Amino acid sequence: MYFLTEEESRWLLKHLIPRAREEGVANELRGWNWHDSPLEPPYDIRLTVSEVAGKYCPTGRDLFLKRVERVESQPSAAMLMGTACHSAVAQLIEQAKRLIYLKGPEDLDGIATGLRKFQPQITLPENLAENQGALVRERVQKICDFEVPRILGKISETLAKQPYSACDSLVAQAIPVICEQKLDGRFLGLSPILSCDSAFFGGAVIYDVKFGQKRDFHRLGVTAYGMVMESLWEFPVDIGCIVYVDLRGSVPVITRDLFLIDDELRQWFIDERDEKMRMLYEERDPGVAEECPEYCGYYALCRGGARVQ
Ligand code: SF4
């Protein structure tokens, strides 16, 4: 999922990265300016990235219900599917790295056998319908069938170019991806236990993998993680990538949205964060949206009736 095609790599290196250098980002919108306006959080409230960037509820009432009214929502089948698939990809990447360290670069067959045998551990709620559980397992298997040869291909390709690579170097070159990287977002008014995916292709690229429909606000979450990294390590993070994976057919169909984390996105993140913080601080109910997605975990509460799974 994280490996760019040759065309995407060229687009990144020859277009996006030079554009980032030319256009630049306003210094006050870099994460390292967290102690000053406009990045300084207006309230002493911590939000998760999905609370700021997950604009599935048009009015933000989901956040009000969760944080002010303290009503828990049940994850929809689509959310469970996304979580399981995301976890499967992360486990595969981690297992591939583990096998390189365990077997060593000289035992490519051992690495390949170990990775082909690997089954990600997926935990599903006990009350999940049997057919939905079977669908999750089928899609996780589809991900493994697709990802394992690609990861092995990257390892052998790297060894073909650099046959004397030791374990650490092989991992860094063949699988330059950090899954579920833990970040402390407190400088920006975010949670201290954020978790994002990132990779290094000529600079830090923040990734988000989505198994559902494309939405414009998906870029907002990636922007938030990029700015948090800047606040922690004071290096620029200019590129984001959202990987859309459609698992409905016989093979995964993958589309990548590579983009600049530009001033507009950064300002959008700040505006969303400040507005959500204000709503929580004032304990203000923003009201039921005119149109609600029927998979929303609060559908029955807000609108009556059962939600669609
Ligand atoms: S049902 Fe509608 S208003 Fe209520 S939380 Fe969901 S999307 Fe928002």
Q: What is the DSSP string of 242-268?
A: EEEEE-SSSS-EEEEEEEE--HHHHHH
The CA distance from 210 to 203, in Å, is 22
Pairing between β-strand 194-200 and β-strand 253-260 as defined by DSSP bridges: unpaired
Average pLDDT over residues 43-56: 95
The confidence score (pLDDT) of residue 118 equals: 94
CA 192 to centroid of ligand 1, rounded, Å: 27
Q: What is the chain's mean pLDDT, rounded? A: 93
Phi/psi for 190 (5° steps) reads: -110, 175
Total domain count for the chain? 1
- Per the domain annotation, does 190 fall within a domain? yes
- pLDDT band at 175, cuts 50/70/90? very high
Q: Is the pTM of this model over 0.85?
A: yes
Using the predicted structure, report yes or no on whether residue 173 has a pLDDT greater than 80.
yes
Please, are residues 177 and 2 in contact by the beta-carbon 8 Å criterion? yes
| Mean pLDDT for the stretch of residues 269-294 | 96
Distance of CA 129 from the midpoint of ligand 1 (Å): 24
Predicted local confidence at residue 304, as pLDDT: 81
Query: What sign does the dihedral 147-242-94-90 (CA atoms) show?
Result: negative
Which residue has a Cα nearest atom 8 of ligand 1? 57
Backbone angles phi, psi at 254, to 5 degrees: -115, 130
Q: Which domain holds residue 180?
A: 6-285
Cα 236 to Cα 136, 223, 270, 291: the distances in Å are: 38, 12, 17, 38
* pLDDT at residue 200, rounded to an integer: 77
Flag whether 295 is in a domain: no
pLDDT of residue 203: 74
pLDDT score at 74: 82
Q: Are 47 and 189 in contact (CB under 8 A)?
A: yes
For residue 305, what pLDDT is reported?
59
Distance 64 CA to ligand 1 centre (A): 10
34 falls within a domain: yes
Q: Which residues contact 219 (CB under 8 A, 6 or more apart)?
A: 240, 242, 257, 259, 265
Beta bridge partners of 128: none
Q: Does any domain span residue 301?
A: no
Distance CA 262, CA 25 (A): 6
Q: Is the pLDDT confidence value at 11 over 80?
A: yes
Q: Output phi, psi for 194, to 5 deg.
A: -75, 160
Q: Is 13 helix (H, G, I), strand (E, B) or coil?
A: helix
Q: β-strands 239-246, 253-260: how paired? A: antiparallel
Q: Is the peptide bond before 293 cis (omega within 30 degrees of 0)?
A: no
Using DSSP, state whether 297 is helix, strand or coil: coil
pLDDT single digits (tens) 220-243: 999 999 999 999 999 999 999 999
Q: Which two tokens stand for residue 92?
A: 């595969």
CB-CB contact of 190 with 47 (8 Å):
yes
Per-residue pLDDT band at 126 (split at 50, 70, 90): confident
pLDDT at position 219: 97
The answer as to whether 304 is a domain residue is no
Residue 95 is assigned to a structural domain of this protein = yes
125 occurs within a structural domain: yes
247 pLDDT more than 70: yes
Q: Percentage of residues in the chain with pLDDT exceeding 90?
A: 82
Residue 293 is assigned to a structural domain of this protein? no
In this predicted structure, the answer to whether residue 308 has a pLDDT above a threshold of 80 is: no
- Pocket (CB within 6 angstroms of ligand 1): 57, 59, 61-62, 288-289, 292-293, 296, 298-299, 302-303
Mean pLDDT, rounded, for 100-119: 96
